[in-house]
């Protein structure tokens, strides 16, 4: 089991690195696929994948929105359009479409199913799209790596520190193996890796110590947020009595099992980078 998990983890990391380096349409397509699978795993977890025409239509609304979300990202990058306005329109259209279906098919659908559909779209597809938005921002070819450092880097450091000195349980019910010592190690480790990454690679093109400190801060805060993402995905699994969200990734489970922390760190990294680097630019 460990060998399978290690091999699939390494392959996944290699694929992620190649896709992020290439960026552009390759990243768009990869994230569209990952978002669609994540959305499917969530609607299955909520029991929305029923065979009735109404439920199929409800789930199809989400798939359609995911497709147009990534088309909009490609269009905005190509023609320099305003992404946030278009994303907000897509979110509103998802909500309106679900409500229209709910009203005109009543009582075949229930209010909680509408909520779960909209939630499933916001949770995985929308938040994962911030990987693409981060890659497309100014200095994004460097900043995007902070997403992986904040999530997967935190996981690795937290695991190592927890194994060595972990004694106090952080969340005994949701994740019994996680310790407070491991969490501290994950945050500190992510901040250090972020600083080293910035010093070695990032500042070759942008030689500014404030950017190194900014990357360390982003990775430290991102690591904290990534733990919430990890535990949030676990909480849903506990609520729905699931072991894993899927079996797409051998030894890891589904997209929601492997990308649970990345889902949270992607938008966090984007907005932290906007705030921190803009503040650094103003202070110079």
Task: Check pLDDT > 60 for residue 119.
Answer: yes
Query: 88-101 b/e with 16+ CB inside 10 Å = b?
Result: eebbeebbebbeeb
Where do the structural domains in the chain lie, given as residue ranges? 1-136, 139-284
∠ CA 89-95-98, rounded to 5°: 135
Note the helical H segments in the chain: 2-22, 24-45, 53-79, 83-105, 111-121, 127-136, 140-143, 145-148, 154-165, 180-197, 203-205, 209-239, 255-258, 260-283
Contact of 229 with 260, CB cutoff 8 Å? yes
Beta bridge partners of 34: none
d(CA 188, CA 199): 17
Q: DSSP code of 249? A: B
Looking at residues 50-59, what average pLDDT do you find?
Answer: 93
In contact, 66 and 125? CB cutoff 8 Å: yes
The pTM for the full model equals 0.93
What is d(CA 237, CA 257) in angstroms, rounded to the nearest whole number? 10
* Average pLDDT rounded to a whole number, residues 35-61: 94
Read off the tokens for 209: 């110590």
Q: Poorest-confidence range of 40-44, 222-226, 275-279?
A: 275-279
For 53, how many CA atoms within 13 A lie in the half-sphere containing its CB? 4
pLDDT for res 193:
94
- Smallest Cα–Cα separation from 236: which of 174, 183, 178, 176? 174
**Residue 138: what pLDDT?**
84
Task: Report whether pLDDT(282) > 60.
Answer: no
**pLDDT exceeds 60 at position 10:** yes
Contact by Cβ (8 Å): 152, 160: no
Question: What average pLDDT does the chain have?
Answer: 90
pLDDT digits (tens, 9 = 90+) for 188-244: 999 999 999 988 876 566 666 778 888 999 999 999 999 999 999 999 999 999 989
Q: Is 52 exposed, middle or buried (0-12, 13-18, 19+ CB in 10 A)?
A: exposed
């Amino acid at each position: 089991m460990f060998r399978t998990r290690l091999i699939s983890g390494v392959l996944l990391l290699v694929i992620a690195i190649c896709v992020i380096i290439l960026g552009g349409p390759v990243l768009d397509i990869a994230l569209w696929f990952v978002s669609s699978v994540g959305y499917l795993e969530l609607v299955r977890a909520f029991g929305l994948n029923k065979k009735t025409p109404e439920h199929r239509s409800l789930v199809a609304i989400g798939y359609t929105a995911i497709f147009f979300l990534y088309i909009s990202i490609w269009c905005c990058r190509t023609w320099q359009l305003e992404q946030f306005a278009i994303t907000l329109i897509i979110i509103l259209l998802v909500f309106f479409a679900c409500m229209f279906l709910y009203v005109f098919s009543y009582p075949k659908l229930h209010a909680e199913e509408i909520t779960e559909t909209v939630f499933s779209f916001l949770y995985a597809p929308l938040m994962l799209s911030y990987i693409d938005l981060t890659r497309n921002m100014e200095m994004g070819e460097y900043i995007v790596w902070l997403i992986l450092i904040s999530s997967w880097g935190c996981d690795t450091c937290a695991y190592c520190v927890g194994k060595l000195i972990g004694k106090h349980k952080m969340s005994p019910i949701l994740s019994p193996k996680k310790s407070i010592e491991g969490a501290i190690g994950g945050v500190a480790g992510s901040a250090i890796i972020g600083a080293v990454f910035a010093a070695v690679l990032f500042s070759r093109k942008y030689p500014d110590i404030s950017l190194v400190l900014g990357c360390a801060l982003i990775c430290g805060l991102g690591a904290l947020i990534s733990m919430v993402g990890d535990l949030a995905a676990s909480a849903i699994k506990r609520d729905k009595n699931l072991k894993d969200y899927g079996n797409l990734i051998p030894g890891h489970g589904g997209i929601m099992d492997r990308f649970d922390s990345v889902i949270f760190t992607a938008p966090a990294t984007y907005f932290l980078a906007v705030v921190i680097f803009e503040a650094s630019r103003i202070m110079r």
